[in-house]
Amino acid sequence: MQLIARGQPLEARHFGYGVLQHVVAKRWSQFTQPERQELAKLVYDKLSECGAVPADEPPEPFMIKSKVATLMAQVVRQEGVGMWSSIMPEMAAGACSESPVQAELSALVMRYVAEDVAVYNSDILGGRMKELLYGLTSTLPQALPAMYRLLEVSEDFFTFVFDFVFPVSPAPALRLGPGLDAADEQTQGSTNRTSSCGILITSI
């Protein structure tokens, strides 16, 4: 976990998060339930850490925030409705926060979870798909007020709201840095947001 610690080179941190994405996407079933809970807690703590950088320190770059949000969405995808229901109150509260960083992170997680369920879903089978869709739609009463709040703050969040409710296709992407090529990892689901030529960052 040292690779993803603040203070490490950006390339190393990006690679570290890519490794974690691969582990969550491909090896989740190999973990025991306590190990899954520990890994999910680690990811959630890293998400909280990104949103709580002290004011006297430089904020996390967007590529790291996007990686952490993508990883959180992947954990939700693997763990299921229970995980989504447990973090949704915090995501809704974060989206309504006065902190732009917390609002951005919460919006990213909500969007990426919606994309993973409705777009990057070729490996999600029958009953599990229905369960995830039900879990997503059942939290709309919590998510929509947060979206309205984001719309009040910035009209740019209209794209986020539309794609959360109607996630038909992947959103436009911004390609960053060929220097990070080695850190990219192709996996199913949310990791489709990363390409071999750099980082694909979903804009909101």
Q: How many domains does the chain have?
A: 1
Question: How confident is the model at residue 203, as a pLDDT?
Answer: 36
For residue 101, the enclosing domain spans: 2-202
Point out the residues of the chain with pLDDT beneath 70: 153-204
**What type of residue sits at position 63?**
M
Element spanning 201, H or E = strand 198-202
Distance CA 118, CA 168 (A): 7
CA proximity to 77, closest of 169, 189, 165 = 189
